[in-house]
Structure 1
Amino acid sequence: MRAGKVTRLLESLSEAHETLIAEFIPAGARSHFLASHREALLGLRSLLDAAIDRAKEPPEASGKKSPPSRSRGVIDISD
């Protein structure tokens, strides 16, 4: 029951958002904002694609050495 109310609320908010944009932002500006939003998303896609590609490579293939592991030495505390 709550899910239905939340869904209806989100749909109402989405419609209100679209109406506000249509009413108050001129068409020319709207097209520029949509284009810039698309470009931002494409930039994010490129970043994600690069990160996915790096995750597929074995660590030694990337040309970077893996950080040295830290091992604890034994400290003699006897007198």
Structure 2
Amino acid sequence: MRADKVTRLLESLSEAQETLISECIPAGARSHFLASRREALLGLRSLLDAAIDRTKEPSEAAGKKSPSSRSRGSIDISD
């Protein structure tokens, strides 16, 4: 059940972050923090894309043009 505890802890931290951002940080600063959060998520997506690309079969990877040619969906980070 350790995974359950970790999940609950992460949810609690996320809720605390949202409360801190919405109630304690001025609107001008809030927009910067939310933009940095978006950039962090985009960075994680790039890391995941690279890891996924490394798992492809050699023949499949040889036919690929470049990592930037991959179509990507959007990530909704708004509340």
**How high is the TM-score relative to the length of structure 1?**
0.48
Instruction: Identify the structure with bigger relative contact order (alpha carbons < 8 Å, sequence gap 6+).
Output: 2
Which of the pair has more CA radius of gyration?
1
